Structure 1
């Protein structure tokens, strides 16, 4: 069974850079029409030029209800249905216990957990039965990184969300999986200190950071019918980092 997405409509949040952008490129190559979101119009414009065709960009922040509503109104008007949701948008800031502020907490939880949950729920009226929902997790959800307290907790929450949504959507045969990358060379980690990046790279038996395209290829598998019996689970693409 191949990984074609011919004739399918996909929505990728956080699709203007990193893993989301690489996934959008792959999904389009495999025949999908893709809607991407991002907070910055300039990055969306660059993404559109890179992807080239069969793509529509909608500027917005998934933590904002009005932005999500506008996204799905555009999808409804221009496509009419959704087959794949890659709920990939996320933020991550350093915050060890003892230093966490309510603003830090609200920002990360608002995007990573609240924004993801409502991105899923509000997509459901447009979803065709038998579709695929992919949530972006992280090895941080399974490890004890002391500098990433709130970020790690949100990713652990998404592991639970994949399980509960799998049960809740079983009658519609909509599959829900968590894709958990190891530390990936994307803009989200750019602000991290170099010694922290080196530490993350050394955690993986693979001995390096992941490339965004490597994670995107796993997202393609989960989006396609090639993964038709994979649901409710966490798929690690981490160079072994969470397993040792």
Structure 2
């Protein structure tokens, strides 16, 4: 018996990193079916091939495009008819120094990280069953001031506020809403943050040294926390922000 037996789940941004590791964990925990999304079809194809299960469906699309979200929900409704779990994970992150931030950078970051998350959840509400679980992937940057990440940090703080309000708005349906906030996790996204390889390595070293556990986290360590929040193990937990960051934001 798995912790997610009989459940139908949606993971946005599921082709690599935390989203992919969570899809793998969901399969291991007996999920009936999991839908994953991503912008790049080739990455989605690779993810499905790696997982090797008939219990996963990849749907290409941009989380910030409402037409793409409508199509995604229609596919889930037509094939499975319902959702029990949403892991709103799709995100964008790039450096931009305050004073040089462009409207394009601002809009792109907010469109994916805030607009995309909000409308993914809102559009899924008609097929989301009562007593289901919504997990929003935030960041320990929600309560920190990180250099050159002004816009990104603001988007993650907005997600924390969304989770609080959704918890209240959905309480009559007993739908739990929680925020998961990772720290420095060893993902392709983290390893892309820098203009040169030396910058990337320096950033990884900086984050490692700043973390009390003195290492980066792994995507699977975050995925295990997602399973906890998605399953009945957390049946009396809603509205929280669970930090999976090796103590980075707490010490």
TM-score class, shorter-chain normalisation, is over 0.9
For 1:206 and 1:150, the matched residues in 2 are separated by: 27
Q: Name the counterpart of 2:209.
A: 202
Q: Name the counterpart of 1:36.
A: 36
| 1:214-225 equivalences in 2 (<5 Å) | 214-225=221-232
Q: Name the counterpart of 1:6.
A: 5
| 1:1-244 equivalences in 2 (<5 Å) | 4-32=3-31, 33-53=33-53, 54-192=55-193, 193=199, 194-244=201-251
For 1:94 and 1:134, the matched residues in 2 are separated by: 26
CA deviation map 1:138-161 (0-9, x unaligned)? 111111102100000000110101
Shift of 1:191: 2.0
For 1:51 and 1:9, the matched residues in 2 are separated by: 17
For 2:134 and 2:96, the matched residues in 1 are separated by: 29
Q: 1:184 to 1:87 in 2, by over 3 A?
A: same
Structure 2 segments unaligned to the other structure (5+ residues): 194-198
Shift of 1:21: 0.4
SS in 1 for 2:34: strand
CA contact (8 A) 1:108 1:150 kept: yes
For 1:19 and 1:132, the matched residues in 2 are separated by: 18
For 1:126 and 1:215, the matched residues in 2 are separated by: 26
What TM-score, normalized to structure 1? 0.98
SS in 1 for 2:76: helix
Shift of 1:17: 0.3
CA contact (8 A) 2:2 2:30 kept: no
Shift of 1:51: 1.4
For 2:202 and 2:162, the matched residues in 1 are separated by: 32
SS in 2 for 1:241: coil
For 1:117 and 1:187, the matched residues in 2 are separated by: 24
User: How large is the RMSD of aligned CA atoms in angstroms?
Assistant: 1.0
What TM-score, normalized to structure 2? 0.95
For 1:207 and 1:3, the matched residues in 2 are separated by: 32
CA contact (8 A) 1:3 1:224 kept: no
SS in 2 for 1:83: strand
For 1:225 and 1:133, the matched residues in 2 are separated by: 13
For 1:163 and 1:9, the matched residues in 2 are separated by: 24
For 1:217 and 1:203, the matched residues in 2 are separated by: 23
